[in-house]
Amino acid sequence: RPMTATEETAAPAGGYGIPPEGPRLPAATAVGSVHLQVADLDRTLGWYGEVLGFAAHREGPAAALGVPGGGRPLVHLRARPGARPAPRSGRFGLYHFAILLPDRADLGRFVRHLGRLGHDAGMADHAVSEAIYLRDPDGLGIEVYVDRPRDAWRTRGRELVMTTEPLDADDLVAAGGEAPWSGLPAGTAIGHVHLHVGDLARADAFYRSALGLDKTVWSYPGALFFSAGGYHHHLGTNTWSPGPAPAEDEARLLSWELTVPEGGADRAADRLRAAGHAVEPLPGGGWRAGDPWGTPLHLVPPAPPRE
């Protein structure tokens, strides 16, 4: 349901949102990769390759998915044979993870590609972005989207304006031109993660007050959105699922990453610990914490540049 658009103004750079009471996460904080449990690795790899255009590196019951031609993995898969699909009503944890394409032409080519496959998809215009929604073979939610330029974003008071309106698919496809979809383009990233939670006030306390994200959107029914550095959102949370947390034998989100530069991961871990949340070191560096509904978050430093 869209928010009523009244008294909207151009979004000033860094001039919107509600910051935490304490320190903020660094502005260059971003989403890293997501880790998923799936039932059938062969089936999932085939779907993620054909439909989304990922390249895969497989190691036994696990695989890492990234952009064809190189780059760091964006999605990690772990197989649990016979895992039950995610229910349509959702569980606490993943609502969707969102693949951010570099430009609008890429998303137009992707929409045409879906049409040629005969693949059903949801579509929405969110004012700050244009988005396509899919479910993978295990029922896990995926968004593929492109951002509008920041000078086109709007605010209402301190709040960024986000809507859910019909998407002009014909105009989007026209922007893709005649070039075919040939897999995820260089520059593709995980732009955000959207989670089912049990209570918005507790989500705000964990992700804003303790972790250090800004709250950017709070009038959207049943949802809050958070970010670092003035982005529209690196994290969405909603109360649209009755829960509970997924069972061990269900397809699910195993963890998601925030890459936090400038020593920010260590400082964020200290703040979470001070707020009474359990924080554990990760073997490769960084920290693991769980939100109040048990969804694991990894706080990690950015990977060093590839030579």
Q: Are 154 and 11 in contact (CB under 8 A)?
A: yes
User: CB count, 10 Å around CB of 23?
Assistant: 13
Query: What string of pLDDT tens digits covers the 307 residues of the chain?
Result: 344 445 566 666 557 999 999 999 999 999 999 999 999 999 999 999 999 999 999 999 999 999 998 889 999 999 999 999 999 999 999 999 999 999 999 999 999 999 999 999 999 999 999 999 999 999 999 999 999 999 999 999 999 999 999 999 999 999 999 999 999 999 999 999 999 999 999 999 999 999 999 999 999 999 999 999 999 999 999 999 999 999 999 999 999 999 999 899 999 999 999 999 999 999 989 999 999 999 999 999 987 755 4
Q: Which amino acid is at 273?
A: R
Give the whole-angstrom CA distance, residue 43 versus residue 193.
23
pTM of full prediction above 0.75: yes
Question: What region, left, alpha or beta, does residue 262 occupy, with left being phi > 0 and alpha being psi -120 to 50 degrees?
Answer: left
Q: Which of 93, 91, 59, 52 is nearest to 76 (CA)?
A: 59
